[in-house]
Chain A
């Protein structure tokens, strides 16, 4: 079986009220089980791109295939949405019900799953995000990170093959951010779910297997984090940062220290610096 899960070919998209194309000629493919980060400045089209992956938006030109299904195929719309779950920035605006477990059940109720099976899958989903003991709480009693995990559980319950997260940590405090990232990483590792993480935190992108950088509706870079972040000048020219350690190495290299520009983690950096100093 083909290892590609989602694929888009020459994707073009523009909103009705804008003359400029939000996405132009985007061609990308995602493998099963891959953990990808999408970076880009505000308005670069990354959220718009994400919405194409589960047919919330349909391409104006080109096509998107999810698990071999064309997203334009209206008959299979819910097959696509069940396969690709989506988590948004504001946890408050994606929770529908007044009780945690009812909310997690929402998608399954929509899909017409029998009640006993819903119960089972809801419990399983809540356990997999570590929110089982909060199942009877109402959402407003939870912290931001917990709410976001409930939102993720609501998606997990559908048993999707891929989860697209659109800046899921942007509105959270550092603790909440850590909780959410840990959960997402575990889902990728243990359940083999394909993750596409849209973010503007470079540290989050650095931990992924692949980083895509978008600018003005085009794919600028698409590589492993080490390679992407070594192009410090290019990233800065499109208004992006690099992880702090990469920045440090970059600044030191200006003085001709000759450090490896592929450093992206603190450990690597410490090691390189110790080597240099001794």
Chain B
């Protein structure tokens, strides 16, 4: 049961968006975030929305999946919009009850905020839906590689991420086993108050940590056996090559950006 958790939220596919070079995708996603929060609210939301909807349609990700990714942020959306409604005091008063005053400015801001956050989440989850975690790590390593010159351990960080991703399912499985083993010995994990529940976690976490340390040691030996010696002189089997449609995608993003700036200047 616990094994069914998907890592990240990669949704395998073969659409144009899936096939984009992960480096380009990452940069485009960053540009998209800037786009959403730059300049005039209306303009940026409209450009952002168009951009998001187009790439979403191209990715052929089921709508349901996208809706699911929005579920966890519902409370945040609700909370921010209520705060905006109550505290923004501009424009005409629409509704007044004792000290509560809702103004047209408040409504406007809260609606915009909801749209902005929704677009932000859908856009960025599109990145993780269409890019496998390993490709993403790879892209990060390559994009940050100029930082090696100022002694940032880029390769080591990427390696750590890869190993972490690799061991998530293994450790989940292990946790599952430990929970069963402790339950078989009469451990009570469901009942009791918060403190008792937290205490019940100790007999799960300690064996898990011990085994993780042991695994780490064995893995280190196995890596040494396979001639691992850090990032220096290392080659990669999979080469990332930017193709024509990567540049098209980048071009389209640039056009959107340019449009956004132009409209902002005119207004």
Q: Which residues of A contact B (CB under 8 A)?
A: 51, 54, 56, 78, 81-82, 85-86, 88, 90, 92-99, 101-102, 105-115, 118-119, 122, 138-140, 151, 154-155, 158
Contacts and interface: CB of A to CB of B under 8 A. Distances in A.
The 6 A-B residue pairs whose C-beta atoms are closest, nearest first, are: A94-B222, A107-B226, A140-B169, A93-B218, A105-B237, A118-B237
A167 to B, nearest CB: 12
A99 B223 contact: no
Contact of B173 (A86, A99, A140): A140
A97 B166 contact: yes
Given A81-B227, A93-B218, A140-B169, A99 B234 contact: no
Contacts of B153: none
A86 B225 contact: yes
Contacts of A88: 218, 221-222
Interface of B is mostly: helix
Interface residues of B, number: 28
Interface of A is mostly: helix
Contact of A96 (B163, B170, B236): B163
B162 interface: yes
Contacts of A119: 237
B190 interface: no
Nearest to A111: B227
Contacts of A81: 224-227
B133 interface: yes
B41 interface: no
Contacts, number: 94
B163 A140 contact: no
A88 B165 CA distance: 21
Nearest to A157: B226
Contacts of B169: 138, 140
Contacts of A92: 170, 215
Contacts of A96: 162-163, 166, 219, 222-223, 226
B226 A155 contact: yes
Interface of B: 133-134, 162-163, 165-166, 169-170, 173, 215, 218-219, 221-229, 233-239
Nearest to A57: B221
12 contacts: A78-B229, A82-B227, A93-B219, A94-B219, A96-B163, A97-B134, A98-B165, A102-B238, A108-B237, A112-B233, A122-B237, A158-B227
A97 B234 contact: no
B166 A98 contact: yes
A96 B165 CA distance: 10
A108 B226 CA distance: 8
Contacts of A97: 134, 162, 166
Nearest to B216: A93
Contact of B235 (A94, A109, A139): A109
Contacts of A106: 223, 226, 228
B134 A110 contact: no
Contacts of B235: 108-109, 112-115, 118
A48 B224 CA distance: 15
Contacts of A112: 233-235
Contacts of A90: 215, 218
A109 B159 CA distance: 13
A122 B169 CA distance: 24
A26 to B, nearest CB: 20
A158 B221 contact: no
B211 to A, nearest CB: 10
B166 to A, nearest CB: 5
A105 B169 CA distance: 21
Nearest to A84: B225
A94 B239 CA distance: 24
Contacts of B215: 90, 92-93
B207 to A, nearest CB: 16
Nearest to A154: B226
A77 B134 CA distance: 30
Given A98-B165, A102-B237, A93 B222 contact: yes
